[in-house]
Amino acid sequence: MSLILSKASLYRSLDIVEKALPKESPIQALENVLLESDSNQLTLSTTNLELQVKVSLPYEGDEPVSVLIPAKITDIIRFLPAPEVKLDLNPDNLQIAISSGRAKYNLFGAASSDFPRIEEASPSHGESMTISSSELKDILRTVVFAASTEETRPAFNGVLFEFDAHRWSLISSDTYRLVFKSIFNEAWRFQNNRCLVPAKALRELLKILDQEEEEVTLFPSKDQLIFKFASVYYAARLLNEKYPDISSVIPERHSTRIMVNRKEIKETISRAALLAEGLNNAICLSVSDGSLTVRVSSQIGRMEETVAIEHEGEEIDLYINSRFIMDILKATTTEAVVVDFHGKTGPVIFRLPDDEHYLYLVLPIKMD
């Protein structure tokens, strides 16, 4: 087999499938990229058994091919000097010759017999949804950050997707904070379904979603959640864990509400965080009539800054993790944020004025 491909297109495809390469695996075949071809397309595939990724490229030829290529091919293609890449596969010894400009490589391939087949699923009974890549990226960016990265809390390593007729809801939490987001679309047709999707897989998906208006089709299939867009097939294996009911932790009424300019509070919290210490990164928020005062005191020094706000309800003074606040302020681009307080020991809830179906809940820090 001999073919000439665009370096940019090939590298982009390899960079996508690389997301499912395991760092280490007892199955040696999984540490490679599977290259397959038929008469009209070339397919690159990887899997770590939790995530499956396939990318297809147009190809014309009459020689079907199936070979494992070392993962190092991604770096090789990245640094090739010319805009086109020529691949020559020797079917007898499975070696792959790569040439581009003055650079030439010869990689040792392997038989693909030990590589698990990735069969592309299709939605059953029309239960799928289509959403633009840019909108999906915005949604995931404002949800995934709150999921836990600690392996000792497997349920909280996932983001809960709930499908219900015309509604799609997402929940993520690390037990110290929580995000709840709902999206409604009359065109969606779902049976009630709950999918606990690994946050790690969603973080990798965020890296490959373009901000262009390409369409992404998303649907559950057995023990996976599938994302299909352009030439990409992205399948995340669901976590087999029970996610707790969060309805009781969201208060119905607030005692204090403020609205503040997102850019101003972000800059203020950034400055306060420079002196925040310890695992809690604690800073103090004080709300009085028309102002929010941010204070921090540590072994390094002290800082205090006041921001103008719109304010209703009681005055309040509490401590909170500065990193938790920065996460939501970085994840959204809204001009202002609404913050609801529920007493000195109750949760602090951040809302977006232009999205009534989103909330971010953070527990305050109890200080002796």
Residue range 94-103: mean pLDDT, rounded: 96
Homologous superfamily (CATH) of 252-362 is DNA Polymerase III, subunit A, domain 2 (3.10.150.10)
Supply the pLDDT for residue 123.
82
> Where does the pLDDT of residue 67 fall: very low under 50, low under 70, confident under 90, or very high at 90 and above?
very high
3-state secondary structure of 256: strand
pLDDT of 221 strictly over 80: yes
- Give the integer Cα–Cα distance in Å for 327 and 330: 5
Supply the pLDDT for residue 156.
97
- Give the integer Cα–Cα distance in Å for 264 and 270: 10
Angle at 246 between CA 243 and CA 252, to 5 degrees: 170
> Where does the pLDDT of residue 165 fall: very low under 50, low under 70, confident under 90, or very high at 90 and above?
confident
- Name the CATH architecture for the domain at 2-108: Roll (3.10)
pLDDT of 55 strictly over 70: yes
Residues 6+ apart with CB under 8 A from 94: 67, 108, 109, 110, 111
Amino acid at 191: Q
* Structure token digits, residue 333: 């681009």
Nearest residue to 268 via CA among 311, 310, 307, 300: 307
Residues 6+ apart with CB under 8 A from 212: 133, 134
pLDDT of 358 strictly over 90: yes
Supply the pLDDT for residue 212.
64
Supply the pLDDT for residue 129.
86
Helix or strand run (H / E) with residue 205: helix 199-208
pLDDT of 96 strictly over 80: yes
Find residue 193's DSSP bridge partners: 163
- Give the integer Cα–Cα distance in Å for 136 and 215: 10
Supply the pLDDT for residue 211.
60
Residue holding tokens 């699923």?
A: 121
Supply the pLDDT for residue 172.
97
Supply the pLDDT for residue 185.
82
Mean pLDDT of the chain: 92
Supply the pLDDT for residue 190.
74
Residue holding tokens 């005055």?
A: 315
Q: What's the whole-model pTM score? A: 0.92
- Give the integer Cα–Cα distance in Å for 127 and 73: 37
Burial class (CB in 10 A: 0-12, 13-18, 19+), 288: middle
DSSP secondary structure string, 36-99? EE-SSEEEEEEE-SSEEEEEEEE---S--EEEEEETTHHHHHHT-SSSEEEEEEETTTTEEEEE
Per-residue model confidence as pLDDT tens digits over 277-300:
888 999 999 999 889 999 999 999
Per-residue model confidence as pLDDT tens digits over 191-204:
778 999 999 999 99
- Give the integer Cα–Cα distance in Å for 336 and 338: 7
Supply the pLDDT for residue 126.
65
Handedness of CA 218, 42, 4, 82 (dihedral sign): positive
* Torsion angles phi and psi, residue 135, rounded to 5: -70, -40
Cβ–Cβ < 8 Å for 141, 331: yes
Per-residue model confidence as pLDDT tens digits over 320-333:
999 999 999 999 99
pLDDT of 154 strictly over 80: yes
Cβ–Cβ < 8 Å for 324, 177: yes
With a pLDDT cut of 90, the percent of the chain lying above it is: 76
Cβ–Cβ < 8 Å for 350, 338: yes
- Give the integer Cα–Cα distance in Å for 163 and 195: 8
Q: Do domains 2-108 and 252-362 have the same CATH topology?
A: yes
pLDDT of 39 strictly over 90: no
Question: CATH 3.10.150.10: does it fit domain 129-237?
Answer: yes
**Domain assignments of the chain as residue spans, ordered by start:** 2-108, 129-237, 252-362
Per-residue model confidence as pLDDT tens digits over 116-125:
988 899 887 6
Q: How many CB atoms lie within 10 A of CB 298?
A: 14
Nearest residue to 239 via CA among 290, 198, 207: 198
